Structure 1
Amino acid sequence: MSTEKKADFSGVTGSVDSTAQQVPKADFSGVSASVDSTAEVVDATYTVEKGDTLSKIAKQHLGDANAWQKIFDANRDQLDDPDRIQPGQVLKLPTR
């Protein structure tokens, strides 16, 4: 057992002084937000059948054969060439 006396810090107090300015709290009460998206809104999907083309699908489901580009754009994740769709593929159909 040690006979050394331990330091007594019971009377020690501390304080912190700062020269930093107090920053007022931010007021977000007037803040509003909205979200704009470049993604096409998808209404439905279509499963490609033998003999289908994007123009044929566009005419049948969007009412305009020239809207094939909209279908192609909505399915860029799976289509590299608009002339190469395969039976069984499930395509997203964009809104009109």
Structure 2
Amino acid sequence: MKNQLSIQELKNMLELRKQGEEDFLLVDVRELDEFETKHIMGTDYLIPMSDFDNNIKVLDEYKDKKIVLYCRASRRSLVAQKRMFELGYNNVYNMLVGIIGYDGETK
């Protein structure tokens, strides 16, 4: 599969972004209650899959920017990634495993 990131790759990217050396958006596609329970530090947007096609419009101006998606176990984010490619987003990545395997900073 193309455009897949490991947890370690995302952690490295988040560290580089803190230093101004990486530019991307981190998007959680889980539901609000899941997000409020736990999410990755540095998440820029919550765009739940339950109303994805309407909610994704907030990212319309970022169609060429690198966007990393995650969910609980990488299933919903994979569906979201495919949908975003269909909608003309060119640089979308899916974090493999999902937040259940994430061992970096969370909130």
The TM tier, using the shorter chain, reads: under 0.3
Looking at secondary structure, tell me which structure has more helix per residue: 2
Q: Name the TM-score, length of structure 2 as normaliser.
A: 0.22
* Bigger CA radius of gyration: 1
TM-score normalised over the length of structure 1: 0.23
